[in-house]
Chains A and B, each alone.
Chain A
Amino acid sequence: MRRFNALTFQTALLASSAVFACETCRPAVEAGIFNEHFWGRLAITLLPFGVVLCVVAPLHFLGRER
């Protein structure tokens, strides 16, 4: 009985609309990522890391003592 209940619950979950949400929205998500803003957004995401690297690189060669 317990096994039956678990199976019923699992089936009900899999039949729910939320499970299929990804399938229906995937083209819209891909269109939202790979559009005319892609390269600009990539640059925005990368920019802080580039600035940090510009600070860290000289540090590597500095700090020479004695």
Chain B
Amino acid sequence: MSPMHRGPLLSAGVMLGVGLGGFVDGILLHQLLQWHNMLSSHLPPDTLVNAKVNMFWDGLFHAFTWLMTFSGLVLLWRAGLRTDVPWSTRTFAGCLLGGWGLFNVVEGLIDHQLLGVHHVRTGPSQTAWDVGFLLFGLALLLAGGALIRAGREDVTPRGAAAPP
């Protein structure tokens, strides 16, 4: 029996999770709740010009997020064509959660903590919101990791996994 490779499904799921997690951040926190924008600590959106400059950088953020999601789809399609990649729902769901968590942790550490270009919710409690964002990301990573570990038992490739 040829060796099985989980890597292609792992990378596809994590890329999709990162992209979808980025969209949650951009759509929910930037646009619907309007808690922050990409550069809102450097350039507070308190004038129309500043708001529109932030809108441009939010747009670039969304463009990169779209590219991550699209790359995830391409990787998933290619993984589905391979007979040596186990097609596991648990692994894929774990990667989606883990990817979202990875996005939150990386973005939270770099943009909120390290560079301070924006905070989750600017104000007297911004540190608590930033830490909460990181903890939520860590929880997603742990939940995703548990699902991925459980998915190790699944070894059937895609064609054989589908019911007749």
Give complex CA distance A47, B7 in Å. Answer: 24
Q: Given A29-B53, A32-B50, A45-B64: A52 and B3 within 8 A (CB)? A: no
Q: Given A25-B48, A48-B107: A64 and B64 within 8 A (CB)? A: no
Residues of chain B contacted by A49 (CB below 8 angstroms): 64, 67-68
Residues of chain B contacted by A6 (CB below 8 angstroms): none
Interface of B is mostly: helix
Q: Are A48 and B5 in contact (CB under 8 A)?
A: no
Closest A residue by C-beta to B60: A45
Residues of chain A contacted by B75 (CB below 8 angstroms): 60
Interface residues of A in 45-66 (CB under 8 A from B): 45-49, 51-52, 55-57, 59-66
Interface membership of A12, Cβ < 8 A: no
Q: Are A51 and B1 in contact (CB under 8 A)?
A: no
Interface membership of A19, Cβ < 8 A: no
Q: Are B18 and A52 in contact (CB under 8 A)?
A: yes
Q: Footprint of B on A, CB under 8 Å?
A: 21, 25, 28-29, 32-33, 41-42, 44-49, 51-52, 55-57, 59-66
